[in-house]
Chains A and B, each alone.
Chain A
Amino acid sequence: MDQLSATLLLKAALWMYVVAGAGSLLALRKEKLANLAGFGGATLGGLCGIGAALRFLAGPADQDSSFELWNSLVPYVRLTVKLDALGAFFLLILSLLVVALSIYSLGYVKSFYGRKNVAVLGSLYNGLLISTTLVFVAANAFFLLIAWELMALTAYCLVSFEHEKPEARNAGVLYFIMSHIGTGCLILGFLILFQAAGGTSPGDYAFDRFRAIRDNLSAGQRDAVFLLFLFGFGVKAGIVPLHIWLPVAHPVAPSNISALLSGALIKTGVYGVTRVLFDFLGTPPNWWGVTLLTIGTISALLGVLYALMEHDLKRLLAYHSIENIGIIFMGLGASLMFLHTNHPVLASLALIAGLYHTINHAIFKSLLFLGAGAVLHSTHTRNMEEMGGLIKRMPWTAFFFLTGSVAISALPPLNGFISEWLTYQSLLQGFGTTSSLVRIMFPLAGAMLALTGALAAACFVKAFGITFLAQPRSEEARHAHEVPTSMLAGMGLLTAACVFLGLFPTTFLKLFDPLTLQLTGERLSQRLTLANGLVLGTTQQLGGTVSTLGIVLTGLCLLPIPFVLWLLFGRRARTRIGPTWDCGLRGLTPAMEYTATGFSKPIRMIFKALFRPRREVQREYDYSPYFAKTLRFESHIEEAFVTRIYRPLNRGILRLSRRMRALQAGSIQAYLIYIFITLLLLLMFAL
């Protein structure tokens, strides 16, 4: 019964998306109907998806859930779907987001009425959901690649949805190019595996076959496969230095789509890396883990540093996605290192840390993007320097955004703290797993994680403080208003998820059991749960324990203290509302407030080797420079990866292609000769 339900629910979810997408398109001219069909249908699909994932993860370990989606007419291509624990976990993440995002979209999309085509948006959205779902459940390489490409194409259309803006078009093209370089690597990687698996029958593309032949691969093949997949999936995940498309593409999409891109889509990269490295390739050599841990640490640190320099709210959030992907990769890298030294329990702990952070990031990042979308909806700007004072005008949005900020800054008691706590614990315990010098990496990575966390907190003090607090800095911010209920409901759902995953990690951990059983052969949730499920421990007896629920309850018990103090001393004290002290001037104006750029100035100066800040000041004055009539100020930072790596690379490619132009003579004889020579070379190579 159970297995039937999981597959049935999965089919229901997929069909729901299909129906919603088609329904939205059919109601082309009726915007309200298209909205309801597209996003209402997607909500139902998301609910089915959650059901399928939970049913599967709670069910018995050996359930068979494979089915043919479609009897393919093309030989070699089999559209086999198979739900397994890893896929089901990512399906859960996606479906959770879909429910919240679709509810939010019902209200958000109204702002497009009469301006953009809502029906197309709805159908593209559902197309993206179908293809992403299929990426997580595809059971062979061919099918995965088809779904992967569909996903990239629909995502491209959605990024460029507001194509009348040049920035959206450019971002779409950049995304498209980067995504295809990645896909190229994936195809090569799968071809190597296919060849090793025999390379003759269509069955050699199946994931089961890849698992079976893991010992047939030579060391060189394994390393090549590792690098190709790391690059291919890394582009999608947005690890440094392959990240440059992410802060460009995510912000320009409509905000509900940005939330989906940053929340779920980049997780397909994490899924791919986990699938290949943990599922296909068996015991890894040490340098794989070291590479992943290093890349993760660098991505985390650089992501947050660049985020601090942004005053575009959505770009800031996009850079934070790079940071969080880095933290996820730290967990995965540590896990690989433990697999190498044959510590399956620790490997499971680190894997759980990484994947727990994956779901956490999906939730709070979507929440923050939705909050940014609500702000954009009311103020029509993404520039934080024109916001301020929104907490009084949009109290609920402010509250949800604050919760998301606390969660992403890894502060107790919310969910970000739990997953970073697990990451710290696995890093610390890693010190004892080996006696080589490599072990020094673990505490150093931990220290960098601490720096990242503290910088993230600084960044979100800035993001929340400048956007929502103090006086409004523009007319638009002054006249902002709260967003419709459905948008608030979507954000509220995600806020509740943040609180649940923060306070009840021990309940949630049970879902990881089938997953770690599949990938590392351990069941951990029992061993991580102490004191009637209230306290989260590490597997080691001394390790360390934490209970956010306990902290919150004790904190509530401490609250009477200020009250008693008030009873004892302050009952006669009164409270007055007065102006903020203005140094004797005639009232404070918004221009005197601290700006986002000013807030991050100390960090810009401290890390000036990285940012290379440049500023230009022009003053016009009559008598003395201290009494300027006009003042123009400009400041820039260098985007090191673009100017140092990508631009030179781009120039090189252009130069090369200019040289190649000589080959393209345009005469048919020349082309025939090329074909002949190629054929000859191929024959020589094959024989």
Chain B
Amino acid sequence: MNLALSIIVQTALLLALAPLVSGCIKNWKAKLQNRRGPPPWQPYLDLAKFLRKDMVISEHASWIFRAMPYVLFSSTLLAGLMVPLVSVSAPLSLFGGALAFVGLLALGRFFLALGGLDTASAFGGMGSSREMTIAAIAEPALMLAIFTVAINAGSTNLSQMLAAAQGPTWKLLNPAHVLAFAALFIVLLAETGRIPIDNPATHLELTMIHEAMILEYSGRYLALIEWSASIKQLVLMTLLVNIFFPVGIAVNSSLAAVGISSLCLLLKLFGLAAAIVVVETTNAKLRLFRVPDLLTTAFVLAALALLSTFLFQ
């Protein structure tokens, strides 16, 4: 019963919070660039609008095209349920840890890329090809950084990793942590399609990646895909802030602890969002074949993090 309740609460939280974070990033980015920008709650309105709209489906599309939004949505939510959000124990922590988390995101991406190919449009194929390539070269950095934390915690279970991070040995400037954080931050930018790698604001440009894959989607399906994308972003950001800054996370389920924890989480998320906004505003998009250099940097950072664990233990 407790499990069911925590699953429901966390699902609701993920669904409700994700568009807000996306909206805030968009709004702040506009502010920083001296534009007025859409209000932070704009993504909610967009989702409601998409849900109400008619859909046009390509004549070439198969059932993969129709199944994809549901697979993506469920797998992203499932991955989100494995991440500790406000309480140390995530609802699905028994069913899978870091490896299942990465696997579920990959499952969603697999179908997303297939959906891109399904409509016979060259844009879709281009997007799928780039998405899978970038994901592939981001993967080793992501895994190595996760391994570094997992080796310190002695577990791949995200709740256990968080519990270990909360102990008295936690230091803000532990070199292994700083380096792993830097690596994961770059991976975060790649995985969520942020500016040095992909530009979330482009539409119908030859540089687009995520947008190219979902070009043929409309209405309800588009709403699910956009929602999944913002949930994925929220989940990855949460993972980053909670593991590297485990401040104020609720250990028990008393109301006060949960309240403080939620507040802390919001503050930390906004902090990270601000960092993303600054990076996005101060950088230009990289050429596609420069992206591997950036991701190799992330890999090297993660490897250094691992080495420093080795040195300082």
| A residues apposed to B, CB below 8 Å | 388-389, 391-392, 398, 402, 406, 409-412, 417, 421, 424-425, 428, 431-432, 437, 439-440, 443-444, 446-451, 453-455, 457-458, 460-462, 464-466, 468-471, 530-531, 535, 540, 542-547, 550-551, 554-555, 557-559, 561-562, 565-566, 568-570, 572-582, 588, 590, 592-594, 598-603, 605-606
Contacts and interface: CB of A to CB of B under 8 A. Distances in A.
Interface in B40-60: 48, 51-60
Interface in B131-182: 132-133, 135-144, 147-148, 150-151, 153-157, 160
A461 B110 contact: yes
Given A465-B114, A593-B125, 8 more contacts: A443-B144, A443-B147, A444-B303, A461-B128, A469-B120, A551-B104, A576-B57, A588-B121
Interface in B207-229: 215-216, 219-220, 223-224
B277 interface: no
B30 interface: no
A400 to B, nearest CB: 14
Given A544-B97, A562-B70, A594-B129, A412 B57 contact: no
14 contacts: A409-B106, A443-B147, A447-B299, A462-B132, A470-B60, A544-B98, A544-B160, A550-B94, A555-B75, A576-B54, A576-B56, A594-B126, A602-B133, A602-B288
A310 B70 CA distance: 31
Contacts of A417: 100, 103
B154 A542 contact: yes
Given A469-B64, A531-B94, A554-B78, A409 B100 contact: no
Contacts of B78: 551, 554-555, 558
A656 B294 CA distance: 49
B74 A578 contact: no
8 closest cross-chain pairs (CB), A and B? A594-B125, A465-B117, A458-B132, A544-B156, A450-B143, A569-B51, A550-B95, A454-B139
B88 interface: no
A389 B60 contact: yes
Given A406-B110, A451-B140, A579 B129 contact: no
Contacts of B132: 454, 457-458, 461-462
B95 A454 contact: no
A566 B224 CA distance: 11
B99 A421 contact: yes
A428 B156 contact: yes
Nearest to A593: B120
Interface of B: 7, 11, 15, 48, 51-60, 62-64, 69-70, 73-75, 77-78, 81, 92-100, 102-104, 106-107, 109-110, 113-114, 117-122, 124-126, 128-130, 132-133, 135-144, 147-148, 150-151, 153-157, 160, 215-216, 219-220, 223-224, 288-289, 292, 299, 302-303, 306-307, 310
A290 B107 CA distance: 32
Contacts of B119: 470, 580
Contacts of A580: 58-60, 119-121, 216
Contacts of B98: 544
A551 B133 contact: no
A597 B149 CA distance: 38
Given A455-B136, A461-B113, A554-B95, A546 B7 contact: no
Nearest to B3: A554
Contacts of B124: 594
A550 B92 contact: yes
A437 to B, nearest CB: 8
A77 to B, nearest CB: 49
Contact of B11 (A402, A561, A592, A598): A561
A544 B58 contact: no
Contacts of B57: 575-578
B129 A601 contact: yes
A417 to B, nearest CB: 6
B291 to A, nearest CB: 9
A392 B62 contact: yes
Given A391-B62, A455-B136, A461-B128, A546 B99 contact: yes
Nearest to B288: A602
A545 B110 contact: no
A535 B144 contact: no
A606 B289 contact: yes
A579 B60 CA distance: 8
A542 B129 contact: no
A67 B137 CA distance: 53
A586 B140 CA distance: 43
Nearest to A546: B96
Nearest to B137: A606
A573 B52 contact: yes
A412 B111 CA distance: 13
Contacts of A424: 99, 156
Contact of A578 (B52, B58, B77, B289): B58
B140 A450 contact: yes
A428 B151 contact: yes
A440 B110 contact: no
Contacts of B138: 454
Given A391-B62, A465-B118, A580-B120, A606 B55 contact: no
